[in-house]
A and B are shown apart, each in its own frame.
Chain A
Amino acid sequence: MNTSSMAVTSNGDEDESSTIRSSWGLAVRGLRNIRRLPSAFVPAMLMPVFTTIAFSGTFAAITELPNFPTSRSVNWFMPLGICFGSAFAGVGLGFSAIRDIETGFYDRLRMSPTSRWSLIIGPLIAAWSRAILICVFVISLGFVLGVRFTAGVTGVATLVAASLGIATICLGWGLGLAFRFRDMRGAALMQLSMFVALYLTPAQVPLPLTTGWLHAVARINPVTNILRLARQGLVSKSSVDSLSWANTWGGLVAILGMSILALIFAKRGLAKLDK
């Protein structure tokens, strides 16, 4: 990316235009890195594929449990796979930020006369684009494996909304950690926290079927609402978890709240990097 293209501006409109241009430039760079550095994106694509196939096969019998919301294990595990992939898409941009900080490229970005928000919005657009790629690929694979959207196109939309939400949260969290740690120790923490947050939910079986400590933790974990949002278009119409406003708003609120917090975390981390 040519940092000189980020023009110094004096009035508000031009500032805004510069922010948009810079964000777009960084987003394009993030997407170009998929081709230039496939090792940074391939895990994000393989993770949901592997989760969908392996979990659907290994745990296929759980759909025989009483009150299980679907008879197809692939319907249950594909959204989980997409959420994992989207989380990787988000934290993957955090890894890129660490690499840029270590190589000194980030110093050039910080010295450029552009809004600090563009250093967050650019990767955010790239994370969304990567999450969309994951959704397209994994949903297509899901159809091959027998996935049926019981709520039609609306079900696809809620799944994509959950995917974009998780990508946003994980991007904010990943960038925030990258700006604070500034080396690969941050990458380990990004992955670990992401896994724990996603697993401390009804990731594997519905909430009423979980027991003990996990049931208590999953009930208060906001990510549970996001998973419910992702899955509601794929469970049986007769299930209480099927597409409805009651199963939607909690996920949207969780996405909004966690995204705001994560992006503020990233912005504050960037401010610390500037000091």
Chain B
Amino acid sequence: MTVAIATRQTVALTKRSTLAILRQPVLIVPSLVFPLFFAALSASSFSKTTRLPGFPKVDSFLQFTLASTVIQGVLFGSITGAAALATDIEGGFFDRLLAAPTARTGILIGNLMGSALFGAAQSAIFVFALLPFGVRVEAGLLGIGAMIISGGLIALGISSLMSAVAIRTGSAEAVQGAFPLLFVLLFFSSVFFPRQTMHGTYKTIATINPISYLVEGIRSLVLDGFSGLAIAQAILIPIGICVLGFVLALTELRRRLGAR
């Protein structure tokens, strides 16, 4: 199989997975509305906490929470791609794809690219929705671009991890069941509040949670401006999650094919 054919197949599957997301407003709307609702809620609830010792220098809590909104929305939205993959397995469509002369990696990437594109779109929507409310991104347009790319990569990484669950179990319910794990990962990190204000065991857990470094990278683009470290955190950590996710998903795929 030539690279051109594999690319064409991947593009076709990408179109299919993107359309599958766009055709489900019931999935799109909550993953856009809820993070914005919680951003508005946090801004009103925690506006006075910006004066706490250790709190980063910010214009407002809304500026601080922009990175949280991006991460929260993208993480929750990214589960849809893996759930769709599990539905394809349940419905038999995945088996038909495997039986066709298509590249295995292409099947996987194509199925997950819809989530990646949606994640990037979510990031852009969140940034541009909060800008009119006085939120300033210190890194400028370059930083906004990096945040959008980061959003897409995070969605791809989480989708690939979840697709490993989907391929192993073949159940959309199992994928949805893994959702609380994301919730736990989010809360036991510095997504919602700065690590500098935390104490004891909780601070230790947040310090070893990679999500903390990811959000701090994006937050640094918003609060401090463009820097190599911020870009590394915002881009390289999601790439690492993508690599891990794809290795796990391909391993599960090989196991599934070997079991036949």
Q: Which residues of A contact B (CB under 8 A)?
A: 46, 50, 54-55, 57-62, 64-65, 199-200, 203-205, 209-215
Q: A-facing mask of B27-60, CB < 8 A → 1, else 0?
A: 0000000000000111111111100111100000
Contact: B53 with A64, CB < 8 Å? yes
Task: Tell me, rounded to whole Å, the shortest Cβ–Cβ distance linking A58 to chain B.
Answer: 5
Known: A50-B187, A58-B187. A65 touches B202 (CB 8 A): no
Contact of A57 among B49, B52, B188 (CB under 8 A): B188
Report the Cα distance A65→B43, complex, angstroms. Answer: 16
Closest-CB distance, A212 to chain B (whole angstroms): 5
Q: A61-B54, A212-B44 are in contact. List 6 more A-B contacts (CB 8 A).
A: A58-B187, A58-B193, A62-B46, A62-B52, A65-B52, A205-B48
**Separation of A62 and B193 alpha carbons in the complex (Å):** 10
Binding site for A on B (CB under 8 A): 40-49, 52-55, 180, 183-184, 187-188, 192-193, 197-199, 201-202, 205
15 sampled A-B residue pairs with Cβ under 8 A: A54-B184, A54-B188, A57-B201, A60-B198, A61-B49, A61-B193, A61-B198, A204-B42, A204-B45, A204-B46, A205-B45, A205-B46, A211-B48, A212-B43, A212-B44
A199–B41 Cα distance when bound, in Å, is 8
A211 touching B47, Cβ below 8 Å = yes
Contacts of A215 in B (CB 8 A): 44
Given contacts A50-B187, A54-B188, A64-B52, contact A59 B193 (CB under 8 A): yes
Minimum CB–CB distance from A87 to chain B (whole Å) comes to 17
Q: A54-B188, A58-B187 are in contact. Are A214 and B46 (CB under 8 A)?
A: no
Do A58 and B202 have beta carbons less than 8 Å apart? yes
Q: Which of B187, B188, B201 gathers most chain A CB within 10 Å? A: B187
> What are the residues of chain B within 8 A of A65 when measuring CB–CB?
48-49, 52
In whole angstroms, what is the CA distance A211 to B187 when docked? 24
Chain B residues whose CB sits within 8 angstroms of the CB of A61 once the complex forms: 49, 52, 54-55, 193, 197-199
Chain A residue with the shortest CB-CB distance to B61: A211
Pair count A-B, CB < 8 A: 69
| B198:A57 contact, CB within 8 angstroms | yes
CB distance from B132 to the nearest CB of A (A): 15
Complex alpha-carbon distance, A199 and B40, angstroms: 11
Highest count of chain B CB atoms <10 Å: which of A57, A65, A205: A57
CB proximity of B33 to chain A, nearest CB, Å: 10
In the complex, which residue of chain B has the Cβ closest to the Cβ of A203? B45
Question: Which residues from B are CB-within-8-Å of A50?
Answer: 183-184, 187
B184 touches A60 (CB 8 A): no
Determine the distance from Cα of A58 to Cα of B202 in the docked complex, in whole angstroms: 7
CB neighbours (8 Å) of A58 from chain B are 187, 192-193, 198, 202
Assess A213 versus B44: contact at CB under 8 Å? Given A50-B187, A57-B202, A58-B187: yes
B246 to nearest A CB, angstroms? Answer: 30
- A46, A60, A214: the one contacting B45 at CB < 8 Å is A214
Question: Which A residues touch B48, using CB under 8 A?
Answer: 65, 205, 209, 211
CA distance A59 to B190 in the complex (A): 10
Which one, B45, B52, B201, contacts A210 given CB within 8 A? B45
Query: Given B40, B52, B187, B201, which contacts A213 in the complex, CB threshold below 8 Å?
Result: B40
**CA–CA, A210 and B48, complex, Å:** 8
Q: In the docked arrangement, what's the CA distance between A244 and B200, Å?
A: 34
Distance in Å from the Cβ of B257 to the closest Cβ of chain A? 31
Query: Which A residues are CB-close (under 8 A) to B43?
Result: 212
Query: Shortest distance in angstroms between B39's beta carbon and chain A's nearest beta carbon?
Result: 12
Q: How far is the CA of A226 from the CA of B177 in the complex (A)?
A: 32
> Hey, which chain A residues are within 8 Å of B49, CB to CB?
61-62, 65, 205
Residues of B contacting A62 in the complex (Cβ-Cβ under 8 angstroms): 46, 49, 52
